Structure 1
Amino acid sequence: MGFREGNLGALGHGIRHRTTITTCLLMAVFFVCYTNREFLRFPVEHELSTALDDHPPNTLKLSDVQGVSTVSGDHPANSLTLSDAQCTALFPHAFDEIELALSRGPVKRSLDKITNGHVRARIYNGALYLTDRGLDVWHRQSAILHQIHRAIVTAPSPSELPNINFEFSVNDHPSGDVWSLARSDADKQVHNTWLMPDFGFWSWPEPHIGSLDEVHDRIIKTEGSMTWEEKESKAVWRGTVKWNKGLRGKLLDVAWDRPWSDVQRLNWSSNALAMEDFCRYKYLIYTEGVTYSGRLRYFQMCRSIIITPELKWHQTTSPLIRSAGPDQNIVIVKDDWSDLAETIEYLEANPEHAERVANNTVRTFRDWYLRPAVETCYWRKLFRAWAHVTPPVGQLYPEERGTRWESFILMHRLHWGKNA
């Protein structure tokens, strides 16, 4: 009996020893996989990359990509449920702004009193909570929160999204260490700005525009089978000069009474154009305003040529703009517009080149990068990147998490009494 007990003790010790070694090995494998995400998703991305090699992005079908479930006829850029790996492979350069922001390192999260236009919130266990919000521009705040919520609930596995605390601003001017609508590289501007998709991706009802996919459908209907020759051979612009007097005022002076010009100060009662009606023109004049101008993404859905001075403000889609080369999708002129007439004359004299630029704009933006899948992909990549540069959230009890979005959107209040 003593012999057996001794051997059983030794055997138990050996088992515990081997169990410890096995546990350590498993933890090591997990650590390598977790810190090397590319290792985990390489096979899928390899399959996606192979599919992309065989099919240009705007002709790719979900059925060409292994691991993507779909129904017949679905366009991959309309899918809201793509995995992180599928997003990366299908939409190259769509997330360059996130990579740039991530390279700046940790952010400094402020807990000062919140300012107008800002919202503080968190994602916890795959749910959206609000913790504080400033007043003003509620429609913009609401649109952004709707977008975030949609990106969460359509994720392949919402509970696998990281828990994060975040703050965003819907003001035209960006803020540092928060998610903002635009950023500038100019001196004295905020440099640690993280870009988020514009509120207009959800809807922009005030100027009678509506949701982005509605505009998309209206533009396709308007342009229909319209040929390049059938478009109006004029440069069109409507706007308010006061938002950027230098740039917009000079444009009015240069374009005044020119045969190629339909450039006018905006009067809502007499000369306003529906967004799709801009697409009837060959040349769309784009001018930045206080900072960026929200009309750019709508112009990018037209089979027209966008003409603008060098852009000073970056948005999430800015890395996709090409001002030269075979993929050119925009035409750059001087800041004082002094070469505008010459530029239009050149494009009129070279219709093949002009039409190629217009076709590139549609192929890049309307058919691909301004579709719903890219927006939801961007949000989820933003969540993951933000988790790498901010402190971990830690465990929170239900009463510590904030107000659930589903409740807030009904009550429009962060706090209410038992009898509210």
Structure 2
Amino acid sequence: MAAYTLLRPRRGLSLLCIIATLSFGVIFMLWYGMNSDRDYIHPILTQLIPAGHCACQTSTTFQCSTCLSCPETGLQHDDTAPGWTFEYARDGRNEALDQQQCKAAFPGLFEDIARGGKFWSQHGGLSTAELDTIPVQLGMARAFISNGELYVVAARSKGEDHRRKILGTLSSIHRALAADPERASRRDIEFVFSVEDKVEDVTNPDWPVWVFSRTPNEEGVWLMPDFSFWAWDNPNNYIGPYDQVVDRIRRLDIPWAEKKPQLVWRGKPSFAPKLRRALIEAARGKPWGDVKQVDWSTGENVLKMEDHCHYMFIAHVEGRSYSASLKYRQACNSVIVAHKLQFIQHHHYLLVADGPNQNYVEVERDFSDLADKIEPLVNDTERARLIANNSVTTFRERYLTSAAKACYWRSLLDGYAGVWNSTVEQWSESTQRERGLRYESFVLLETPKMFQFDAAATQAWQG
């Protein structure tokens, strides 16, 4: 009996050790599955790893009133601009289109602005009081427009990435203002924007913050074009201004008949392991599949942006949130293959998944129907070519042009002004100084001064 009593704690301790070892093993495998960028991990592990930032069972469905597949497509020949129609070669770089020309040229582009205006109209509009409740966190800025000029009130940057994105956003707004035919009569407004990937990273979806992307239930925010329309440069790859990338792609693209009848994708699986590994496995071993992970440190499997255009099919996958690379892929005369998207960007309303205007191929978020969607197009490349041509006509040559971007920015300013109920004061009575620093002066600040910028402090220092 004594011997049995002595053995029981040892057996219990052994059992605890086994449970702890198994638990550690499971945790390690899950961690490895979520953070590894190796080409292959066992499919069972792919199924076990959590979705993380990617809510893989949700996606966005658009119910728009003026998108390409709706009867209102005829607005492209709007009576408000009689005798004038958009011509890519002539108008694509014209950032000075007037309001009526913008409406005639880009029906469906302003859907989210109309949605935001309706939302805030139903909630009593916007005022300085609402903005004052919004903390300007790292990756955010507060600015206003007065007498057609752009002023910066505050900006917070964690590092160079934030600083560049804030500068790119402000520069895009300034350019749209500078080309505005109605600039002198533009109404004063004040606003807050975020350059973080996700709304929830820094702010509340019920606040009227301008953001690069949103999910369907984030109704309080307003969509703006992402920073990389201005320019994008990261430590591993120089990309440059968007229109310059498009020019380079157009020069280096090859005829449709010479493109590889394959689906290409390059990326880091760890950015969204559940999604991206599903794509890798769905294409593995398929004759039409050229889907590989990249290693930026060694350059393994890295493809230049323009080299993607040498394939008939280009896969698009979201990362931890939206993926800014979609517009670069849409610059190619190729078929974009994308899973059901969870995050909405300002131009996503123009995506058409079927019918005569189809401009991309939509698959399930787990890529379970990828082969079913791709193989008929590989066998019928003429049908695929029509989808690719629709993509070019819709996006590269219309809705992603410099003209469209400027029109969108000015429409955003107008839509926001429609629910703005406050005046904008340039002068602060409490500090006896100007409330904001003009954009032209802000861009000349030394980099460290931009990281934690406050206009009142800067004006005091200048005084």
Mapping of residues 137-148 of structure 1, within 5 Å: 137-148=162-173
SS at 1:392 equivalent: coil
SS at 1:78 equivalent: coil
Give the aligned partner of residue 187 of structure 2: 162
- The offset of 1:242, in angstroms, is 1.8
Q: 1:419 to 1:88 in 2, by over 3 A?
A: closer
Give the aligned partner of residue 67 of structure 2: none
State whether residues 77 and 369 of structure 1, in contact with CA within 8 Å, keep that contact through their aligned partners in structure 2: no
State the AA in 2 paired with 1:132.
Answer: A
CA distance in 1, matches of 2:215, 2:461: 46
CA distance in 1, matches of 2:293, 2:163: 28
State whether residues 49 and 89 of structure 1, in contact with CA within 8 Å, keep that contact through their aligned partners in structure 2: no
Give the aligned partner of residue 265 of structure 1: 293
Which residue of the other structure, out of 211, 221, 227, is the alignment partner of 2:255? 227
- The offset of 1:391, in angstroms, is 2.6
Give the aligned partner of residue 183 of structure 1: 214
For each residue in 1:157-179, what CA deviation from the matched residue of structure 2 results, as whole angstroms up to 9, or x when unmatched? 32212101100001011243110
Mapping of residues 401-412 of structure 1, within 5 Å: 401-412=435-446
Higher RCO, 1 vs 2 (CA within 8 Å, ≥6 residues apart): 2
SS at 1:314 equivalent: coil
Q: 1:419 to 1:404 in 2, by over 3 A?
A: closer
- The offset of 1:234, in angstroms, is 1.1
Which runs of 5 or more structure 2 residues have no equivalent in the other structure?
Answer: 1-76, 450-454
Which residue of the other structure, out of 97, 102, 113, is the alignment partner of 1:98? 113
SS at 2:150 equivalent: strand
1:353 aligns with 2:383: yes
- The offset of 1:214, in angstroms, is 0.8
For each residue in 1:220-257, what CA deviation from the matched residue of structure 2 results, as whole angstroms up to 9, or x when unmatched? 0111xx33221011111111112211111111122223
Give the aligned partner of residue 64 of structure 1: none
State whether residues 189 and 424 of structure 2, in contact with CA within 8 Å, keep that contact through their aligned partners in structure 1: no
Mapping of residues 64-213 of structure 1, within 5 Å: 75-105=90-120, 106-107=125-126, 108-136=130-158, 137-174=162-199, 175=203, 176=205, 177-185=208-216, 189-206=217-234, 207-213=237-243
- The offset of 1:401, in angstroms, is 3.5
What is the number of equivalent residue pairs in this alignment?
354
SS at 1:46 equivalent: coil
State whether residues 425 and 435 of structure 2, in contact with CA within 8 Å, keep that contact through their aligned partners in structure 1: no
State whether residues 194 and 211 of structure 2, in contact with CA within 8 Å, keep that contact through their aligned partners in structure 1: yes
Which runs of 5 or more structure 1 residues have no equivalent in the other structure?
Answer: 1-43, 62-73
CA distance in 1, matches of 2:263, 2:135: 46
SS at 1:236 equivalent: strand
Q: 1:99 to 1:418 in 2, by over 3 A?
A: closer
CA distance in 1, matches of 2:105, 2:147: 27
- The offset of 1:390, in angstroms, is 2.3
Give the aligned partner of residue 367 of structure 1: 397
- The offset of 1:134, in angstroms, is 1.6
CA distance in 1, matches of 2:461, 2:248: 46
Mapping of residues 309-320 of structure 1, within 5 Å: 309-320=339-350
State the AA in 1 paired with 2:398.
Answer: W
For each residue in 1:69-111, what CA deviation from the matched residue of structure 2 results, as whole angstroms up to 9, or x when unmatched? xxxxx62121111111111111111111111111102244344
CA distance in 2, matches of 1:227, 1:395: 56
CA distance in 2, matches of 1:45, 1:160: 24
What's the TM-score once normalised by structure 1's chain length? 0.80
State whether residues 313 and 335 of structure 2, in contact with CA within 8 Å, keep that contact through their aligned partners in structure 1: yes
State whether residues 266 and 291 of structure 2, in contact with CA within 8 Å, keep that contact through their aligned partners in structure 1: yes
CA RMSD of aligned residues (A): 2.0
CA distance in 1, matches of 2:239, 2:214: 24
Give the aligned partner of residue 33 of structure 1: none
Which residue of the other structure, out of 292, 303, 308, is the alignment partner of 2:338? 308
CA distance in 1, matches of 2:283, 2:381: 21
1:343 aligns with 2:358: no
Which residue of the other structure, out of 256, 259, 263, is the alignment partner of 2:284? 256
State the AA in 2 paired with 1:304.
Answer: S
For each residue in 1:187-242, what CA deviation from the matched residue of structure 2 results, as whole angstroms up to 9, or x when unmatched? xx53211000111110011132111111111110111xx33221011111111112
Q: 1:309 to 1:173 in 2, by over 3 A?
A: same
State whether residues 303 and 359 of structure 1, in contact with CA within 8 Å, keep that contact through their aligned partners in structure 2: yes
SS at 2:255 equivalent: coil
State whether residues 209 and 274 of structure 1, in contact with CA within 8 Å, keep that contact through their aligned partners in structure 2: no
CA distance in 1, matches of 2:215, 2:288: 32
Give the aligned partner of residue 236 of structure 1: 264
Q: 1:271 to 1:393 in 2, by over 3 A?
A: same
- The offset of 1:341, in angstroms, is 2.0
For each residue in 1:272-314, what CA deviation from the matched residue of structure 2 results, as whole angstroms up to 9, or x when unmatched? 1111111111110100111110110111111101111111111
SS at 1:313 equivalent: coil
Mapping of residues 314-333 of structure 1, within 5 Å: 314-333=344-363
State whether residues 121 and 129 of structure 1, in contact with CA within 8 Å, keep that contact through their aligned partners in structure 2: yes
For each residue in 1:340-367, what CA deviation from the matched residue of structure 2 results, as whole angstroms up to 9, or x when unmatched? 1232210011122111000000001111
CA distance in 2, matches of 1:116, 1:418: 22
CA distance in 2, matches of 1:197, 1:76: 19
